[in-house]
């Protein structure tokens, strides 16, 4: 039987992937979660992409989740007279809150974030265009930040600004984000990603707005500010109040420096797994595939290392949104994930062996994984679930045993598309006599050729099928 890919694939939809043909090809290539980048595109664009994803995934009997990614307070310079300039090392360059927004030159440009003059001090380093241009702050007055160019190069309109070490005081949610949250609720998105959160309070605010808009979407915290990874307490504060996190390596790498990025990525993945949260690894994973049909060896290693660290998902950004080879990028990512998952380290877990548990469903979930990893006859785990929380906890433990999320709820079916090693089955246990539930659940996998007579399975469920968080039972059953 062909191995099933456990690591999930998130791909951003954009101008290159808006047609029915391209979206269908990506779904067939292995797309698990479609990302809408609210920094680009109109509401009408997003509505049409959601319609296509829902229609085409249903046609192919696939559960594909959709994530809306909020723009957040991206701090940007304004625009230049000629659209771009070239800055040279040693030259002075001023960022002004009073300069006309369309009149930038090689010596001065407007800024779209006036509080920058309060956030900066002499000696600070400002990084423009994802760190391609570096400025050192020489002085600050009420209307401008005066700098000298340390690393020069071309600079064009509306490029982002980061401060080395973080410390930009902009609130996490803008008025545009409020509008996009209402759009996410209208489109019944499964996940909402929050950009540039500083603390758990920012995620709590986002959750309140999402719920007020009438959406049950799970909240993903994008880890991209230096403050978020300043220490374990700050990181865990963000992880605990979210449903999952994204290692957003673009802005994070600019703020903390590239040298620390790989270590921080591993720490974020490990902390998310320990705290029973999802984790997505993102940004420039297959960047060369924007213009090349094959990835570089370094990109292959990057994706594989994230898989070996047990990320839930790996993500494509510009590669699928605007690149020339979006379908090939999904295919390559799927191939790399499968290859990395063959390593024995991805099947062995020593996680939580010395820990105590805090919830009944957590105890059942982790007991299931211990049994699955130590009883070679176990070929599948079936979790009858309302919210998907039990299979989520199960998927925090390394294992080669597939986890099947059995649920009647469409929202849970799509949500579980992001869980590592979890596969969704539409199943309504409440509609069956209690004595027939186990056999009916097993029969579905037998009919798909996933179980054979003599195999063993683990089945978990609650006494009541309508209660979220009520999983309290575990059975080990033999397939007859």
What would the two tokens of residue 391 be? 């299979």
277 flagged as catalytic: no
Residue 204 burial by CB count (10 A; 0-12/13-18/19+): exposed, middle or buried?
Answer: middle
Distance (Å, whole) CA 156 – CA 3: 47
Question: Residues 406, 429: contact at Cβ < 8 Å?
Answer: yes
Please, which residues bridge with residue 153 across strands? Answer: 87
Of the residues 35, 159, 198, 225, only one is catalytic, namely 35
What would the two tokens of residue 313 be? 């998902």
Question: Residues 166, 44: contact at Cβ < 8 Å?
Answer: no
Distance (Å, whole) CA 386 – CA 429: 10
Q: Nearest Cα to 137, choosing from 97, 94, 167, 77?
A: 94
Q: Up-side HSE of residue 432: CA atoms within 13 Å toward CB?
A: 14
State the DSSP code for 3.
Answer: P
283 flagged as catalytic: yes
Distance (Å, whole) CA 256 – CA 422: 33
Question: Residues 177, 72: contact at Cβ < 8 Å?
Answer: yes
What would the two tokens of residue 419 be? 């869980």
Distance (Å, whole) CA 477 – CA 87: 69
Question: Which residue shows structure tokens 């959406």?
Answer: 215
Q: Is 140 helix (H, G, I), strand (E, B) or coil?
A: strand
222 flagged as catalytic: yes
Question: Residues 394, 458: contact at Cβ < 8 Å?
Answer: no
What would the two tokens of residue 179 be? 């509008």
Residues 6+ apart with CB under 8 A from 426: 407, 408, 413
Distance (Å, whole) CA 90 – CA 319: 35
Distance (Å, whole) CA 35 – CA 394: 25
Of the residues 222, 273, 277, 379, only one is catalytic, namely 222
Question: How far is Cα of residue 144 from the mean position of the Cα atoms in its chain?
Answer: 36
Of the residues 47, 54, 62, 76, only one is catalytic, namely 76
CB atoms within 10 A of CB 81: 13
Distance (Å, whole) CA 131 – CA 118: 21
Q: Nearest Cα to 393, choosing from 371, 366, 368, 374?
A: 366
446 flagged as catalytic: no
Of the residues 12, 281, 283, 460, only one is catalytic, namely 283
Residues assigned a catalytic role: 35, 76, 222, 283
């Amino acid at each position: 039987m062909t191995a099933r890919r456990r690591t999930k694939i998130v791909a951003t939809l954009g101008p290159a992937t808006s047609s029915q043909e391209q979206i269908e090809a990506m779904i067939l290539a292995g797309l698990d979660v479609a990302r809408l980048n609210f920094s680009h595109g109109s509401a009408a664009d997003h509505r049409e992409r959601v319609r296509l994803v829902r229609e085409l995934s249903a046609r192919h009997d696939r559960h594909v989740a959709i994530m809306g990614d909020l723009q957040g307070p991206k701090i940007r310079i304004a625009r230049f007279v000629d659209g771009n300039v070239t800055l040279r090392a040693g030259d002075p360059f001023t960022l002004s809150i009073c300069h006309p927004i369309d009149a930038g030159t090689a010596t001065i440009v407007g800024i779209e974030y006036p509080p920058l003059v309060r956030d900066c001090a002499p000696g600070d380093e400002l990084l423009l265009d994802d760190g391609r241009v570096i400025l050192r702050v020489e002085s600050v007055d009420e209307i401008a930040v005066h700098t000298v160019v340390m690393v020069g190069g071309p600079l064009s309109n509306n490029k982002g600004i980061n401060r080395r070490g973080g410390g930009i005081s902009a609130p996490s949610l803008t008025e545009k984000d409020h509008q996009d949250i209402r759009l996410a609720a209208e489109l019944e998105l499964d996940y909402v990603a929050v950009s540039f959160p500083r603390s758990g309070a920012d995620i709590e605010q986002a959750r309140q707005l999402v719920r007020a808009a009438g959406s049950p979407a799970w909240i993903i915290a994008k880890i991209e500010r230096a403050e978020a990874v300043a220490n374990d307490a700050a990181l865990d504060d963000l992880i605990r109040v979210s449903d999952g996190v994204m290692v957003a390596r673009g802005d994070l790498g600019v703020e903390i420096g590239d040298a620390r990025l790989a270590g921080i990525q591993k720490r974020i993945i490990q902390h998310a797994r320990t705290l029973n949260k999802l984790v997505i690894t993102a940004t420039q994973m297959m960047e060369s595939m924007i213009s090349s049909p094959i990835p570089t060896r370094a990109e292959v290693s990057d994706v594989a290392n994230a898989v070996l660290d047990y990320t839930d998902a790996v993500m494509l950004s510009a590669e699928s949104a605007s690149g020339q080879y979006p379908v090939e990028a999904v295919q390559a990512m799927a191939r790399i994930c499968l290859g990395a998952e063959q390593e024995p380290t991805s099947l062995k877990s020593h996680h939580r062996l010395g820990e105590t548990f805090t919830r009944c469903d957590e105890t059942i979930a982790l007991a299931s994984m211990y049994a699955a990893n130590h009883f070679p006859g176990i070929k599948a785990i079936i979790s009858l679930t309302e919210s998907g929380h039990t299979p989520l906890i199960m998927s925090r433990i390394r294992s080669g045993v597939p986890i099947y999320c059995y649920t009647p709820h469409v929202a849970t079916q799509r949500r579980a598309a992001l869980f590592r090693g979890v596969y969704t089955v539409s199943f309504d246990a409440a509609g069956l006599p209690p004595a027939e539930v186990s056999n009916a659940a097993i029969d579905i996998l037998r009919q798909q050729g996933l179980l054979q007579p003599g195999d063993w399975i683990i089945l978990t469920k609650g006494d009541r099928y309508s209660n979220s968080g009520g999983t309290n039972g575990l059975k080990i059953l033999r397939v007859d």
